[in-house]
Chains A and B, each alone.
Chain A
Amino acid sequence: MAIPIAESLKLGLSDIMMRKVRSVVTVIGIILGVMCIMVVLAIVNGMNKSTISWMEERGGLNKIEVEQNWQYDFSKGGDPSFTLKEIRYLQSLIPEAEAFNPTVQEWEAVINKDDIRYSTSLRGVMPDFVKVEQWNIDKGRFIKDLDIDLYSNVIVLGSTVAKEFFGNNDPLGQTISVGNQQFIIVGVMEKRFMQTQGGQIGMGDNALEYMNRRCFIPISTMISKVNPGGKISSLDIRAKSPEAAKELRRKVENIVLNLKNGKRLFQVTSAKEQLDTMQANVKVMEAIFFLIAVISLLVGGIVIMNIMLASIRERTREIGVRIAVGARRRDIFIQFLVQTILITALGGVLGILLGFAILKQVGNYLQIEVVASVQMIWVSLLVSIGVGLIFGVVPAVRAARLDPVVALREE
């Protein structure tokens, strides 16, 4: 003759409806805790999403970068650059790589045509560049193997550079000079765009605008004509998958170390591993925020426990009556436990609604992307029910243990 849970739910609901104001006040702690969880999860989701899209915009998680090691102590000697021969040798050792592109950089090259002068970062690259960077050509073509072999004077412009010189006119086939060399424009890169996050000052709204200001020429032409003695100091490799990239990174690191007689002149990083590190940092933040949420939920739970205890003291006679007409101790226990859980679940639902309501404001205020997800609702609801379950036990036990004779005498 147990009273079913449905009956307890009905009892609990009518009790809550009868004491609306008290019920809402009771759960303020839970509401705040749940809101906190909601916002944290949304921020973490947002951070993960923008980190991944940043990585993807920069060539994806398959990318491995070989760069000069700025921490190397150059007093120990060594030249942090590769010759074209070393590059060819390295490439032959890693046939599993999907794309392979060394770069020679000229940071401050001045391009001019007629009266227009433009300072740009000029890069000598190979045809695989577009594959490594996952960056397509918008007009014309990119640099080809034949251009490398023939030391051709061809150039591909970034979209911003093309606009500076030609506005809306077609730049293809036009000539432009870099230093004393004339180049034929064979292509224009696609515009890269990613919304700036977090309001970094001076970046404008396109976090990738610096890429649109670059120009590209064959690496052979760069070394022989534009910047004689220019050195190959960086190398990008693309693996078949993010996991393969981790593996390949270690292999490339060893090859480079051997090439340079064991000197750590270069550092080899994989985007996947960088992402892992960044996500580990996000995890730490996540943990800190969750601790805050847990503390506010604990406080909320203790408040609820005390209010429930007070409410049971107030309802002693009612409990006595229920026992007198046949309620078992278990029925009383369930009645009060279910009521506490209902109250915290109600707080959870309010917290979820308010959390959604403030999510946008938080995102705008911190100038970061927040991403809502269904998982947030489940986590919040489960947590608030869990708080009710934990903090409802003591009051429910107290109620169930009342002596009916004493309880009925209570005024």
Chain B
Amino acid sequence: MDIIRTENIVKDYILGKIKVRALNGIDLQIQKSEFVAIMGPSGSGKSTLMHIIGCLDRATEGTYYLDDVLVSKMPQSSLAAIRNRKIGFVFQSFNLLPHLNILKNVELPLMYGGLSHRKRLARAKEVLQSVGLGDRLKHKPGELSGGERQRVAIARAIVNDPSILLADEPTGNLDSQSGGDILEIFKDLHSQGNTVIMVTHDQAIASRAQRIIKIIDGKIVDGNSDS
């Protein structure tokens, strides 16, 4: 079953008076429980594709089905619900809120999901324990190492039990040791049946995935064959 299916996705940006085509006809299928790396040089359009898959941005043309639901025509408020329930983001620079402790950071998606205070506290604790930070709940992100921060970000991404986990250069700001640990977590999550999509420009990291999709100049050049 395809969890993600796109047909002829085109994305244009207007920069001043020039139209820049970031994506030029992307047909992509990703199956449930796959671990996929999207690879390409910088400027290839891989981040744009990730934003569209993550419902943070809309395609200029084309259709996008997530879990067999046509999301490319959905209104903004419904997209917020999709992001909240079906997608977990992990960013290169962690994007934790620095003034909140890590427990609160992980609670954030649950709050927007409308969960009661008690339930989200319990769930956030549970997830933080699963990434090995159960004893650091009251710490602020600034008091943690890079690897630990990324683990908090992963906890936040999976706390709502999303359909897909989207990671954008998740090891880009980490030393190789912590980066390796993070990739192990992704592998574990994948082995538990999660769908993981990782965007990277690093061949070594991409090779940890089951399948590598290569993008150059807004087009898929390799890796979309086995669907």
Query: Contact string, A318-332, partner B, CB cutoff 8 A, digits 1/0?
Result: 101111111111110
Once the chains bind, are B89 and A1 in contact (CB under 8 Å)? no
Once the chains bind, are B56 and A324 in contact (CB under 8 Å)? yes
B83 partner residues in chain A, CB cutoff 8 A: 323-326
Contact of A405 among B56, B85, B108 (CB under 8 A): B56
Which chain A residue lies CB-closest to B114? A1
Nearest CB of A to B73, in Å: 18
A324 partner residues in chain B, CB cutoff 8 A: 54, 56, 83, 89, 95
Once the chains bind, are A404 and B77 in contact (CB under 8 Å)? no
A18 partner residues in chain B, CB cutoff 8 A: 99
Tell me if A's interface is mostly helix, strand, loop or mixed. helix
Q: Does B2 contact A (CB under 8 A)?
A: no
Within 8 A of A (CB), among B36-62: 51, 54, 56-57
Query: Contact string, A324-354, partner B, CB cutoff 8 A, digits 1/0?
Result: 1111111100000000000000000000000
Complex alpha-carbon distance, A322 and B105, angstroms: 10
Q: Does B156 contact A (CB under 8 A)?
A: yes
B99 partner residues in chain A, CB cutoff 8 A: 14, 18
Nearest CB of A to B188, in Å: 22
Nearest CB of A to B123, in Å: 14
Nearest CB of B to A87, in Å: 83
CB contacts between A and B, total, < 8 Å: 66
Complex alpha-carbon distance, A226 and B29, angstroms: 121
If A1-B112, A3-B112 touch, whether A325 touches B76 (CB-CB below 8 Å) is no
Once the chains bind, are B85 and A325 in contact (CB under 8 Å)? no
Once the chains bind, are B156 and A1 in contact (CB under 8 Å)? no
Once the chains bind, are A327 and B80 in contact (CB under 8 Å)? yes
Complex alpha-carbon distance, A260 and B195, angstroms: 107
A331 partner residues in chain B, CB cutoff 8 A: 80, 112
Nearest CB of B to A252, in Å: 73
Complex alpha-carbon distance, A330 and B75, angstroms: 13
Please count how many residues in chain B sit with their CB below 8 Å of the partner chain's CB atoms.
25
Within 8 A of A (CB), among B58-86: 76-77, 80-81, 83-85
If A1-B81, A317-B95, A405-B51 touch, whether A322 touches B76 (CB-CB below 8 Å) is no
A329 partner residues in chain B, CB cutoff 8 A: 76-77, 80
If A321-B97, A404-B56, A405-B51 touch, whether A326 touches B109 (CB-CB below 8 Å) is yes
A330 partner residues in chain B, CB cutoff 8 A: 77
Which chain A residue lies CB-closest to B97? A318
Within 8 A of A (CB), among B174-193: none
Q: Does B111 contact A (CB under 8 A)?
A: yes
Once the chains bind, are A326 and B85 in contact (CB under 8 Å)? yes
Contact of B81 among A3, A326, A408 (CB under 8 A): A326
Which chain B residue lies CB-closest to A321? B95
Q: Does A86 contact B (CB under 8 A)?
A: no
Nearest CB of A to B46, in Å: 14
A323 partner residues in chain B, CB cutoff 8 A: 56, 80, 83
Once the chains bind, are A326 and B113 in contact (CB under 8 Å)? yes
If A330-B77, A408-B91, A408-B95 touch, whether A325 touches B114 (CB-CB below 8 Å) is no
B112 partner residues in chain A, CB cutoff 8 A: 1, 3, 322, 325-328, 331
Q: Provide a sorted-by-A list of 15 A–B residue pairs whose CB atoms are within 8 angstroms.
A: A1-B112, A3-B112, A7-B111, A321-B96, A321-B108, A324-B56, A324-B83, A325-B109, A326-B113, A327-B80, A327-B112, A329-B77, A404-B56, A405-B51, A408-B95
Sample of 12 further A-B pairs with CB below 8 A, known A322-B112, A325-B156, A408-B95: A1-B81, A1-B113, A3-B112, A318-B97, A320-B95, A324-B83, A325-B112, A326-B81, A326-B83, A326-B84, A326-B85, A328-B80
Interface residues of B (CB under 8 A from A): 51, 54, 56-57, 76-77, 80-81, 83-85, 89, 91, 95-97, 99, 108-109, 111-114, 156, 160
Counting from the closest, the 10 A-B pairs by CB-CB distance are: A326-B84, A328-B80, A326-B112, A325-B109, A1-B114, A404-B56, A321-B95, A326-B83, A327-B112, A405-B57
